[in-house]
Amino acid sequence: MSRDKAEATTHFGFEDVPVAAKAGRVRDVFASVANRYDLMNDLMSGGIHRLWKASLIDWLAPRPGLHLVDVAGGTGDIAQRVMARAGSAEIVVCDLTPDMLAVGRDRAIDSGRLDGIRWVCGDAQALPLPDRAVEAYVIAFGLRNVTDIPLALAEARRVLKPGGRFFCLEFSQVILPLLRDLYDLYSFKVLPALGAAVAKDREAYQYLVESIRRFPAQEELAEMLRHAGLEQVSYRNLSGGIAALHCGWRI
């Protein structure tokens, strides 16, 4: 390994860490909170994340037989929503953290969902899928945890069939000044304390808050999608920009 590569760093929240260390740090965060991840989502957002995900599913408009990869799909929340809307689909839930996948797989079995979803441990930067394998690619609240976002976007385009669509739902940059101030106060004061009380891991939710602040703003991310070769890129702000939905096509 060259000295430059050995010394390369990236951000883990507000902390700079070696590039090679970030994936392991992210895996540790989600392994720690896997069993209470969905409960924390409800508590942190007051349930609003469900409306954001409904907006994603509405834009995707899944039809029966859809072939989709849900990257950073974790506990399978998005996959289950797609199955409920489409009736039938072929979905690969791909996540870096085995603990998250285990929660999702167990939940699917408990609900009687035995077919249509495959649970695969893998990296967004090197998806275990062949070229042109799926009609839709979804990543919800996962892209900000990727070490090399441009590489992950290139992978998204690679696995999409021509005419396939990319969707990203992610926390973004608040566009309303008053809401931004309130959101900052809530994020830095309330969320870590909530993580400590409910998930027993303050540091994981401190990282979450910091990772949101380091994530590209709406138009910057849109330009990254275009640079990756996706076309007809557009986005929609949700809740004043607390979250945003991005979409792009592989033509």
Q: What is the CATH number of domain 3-166?
A: 3.40.50.150
Query: What would the pLDDT profile of 152-177 be if each residue is shown by its tens digit?
Result: 999 999 999 999 999 999 999 999 98
For residue 4, pLDDT over 70 is answered with no
Reduce the DSSP state of residue 2 to 3 states and report it: coil
| Structure token digits, residue 14 | 């507000």
Query: What would the pLDDT profile of 192-215 be if each residue is shown by its tens digit?
Result: 998 899 888 899 889 989 999 999
End-to-end CA distance of the chain: 37
Distance between CA atoms of 210 and 227, rounded to whole angstroms? Answer: 26
Region 106-122: mean pLDDT is 93
- Residue 209 burial (CB < 10 Å; 0-12/13-18/19+)? buried
Please tell me the pTM assigned to this model.
Answer: 0.92
| CA separation, residue 153 to residues 160, 211, 251 (Å) | 11, 18, 15
Beta strands 66-71 and 134-140: pairing type?
parallel
- In the chain, where the domains are located: 3-166
pLDDT of residue 7: 64
Q: Which amino acid is at 51?
A: L
What are the residues whose beta carbons fall under 8 Å from the beta carbon of 195, sequence distance 6 or more? 33, 40, 201, 202, 204, 205, 206, 208
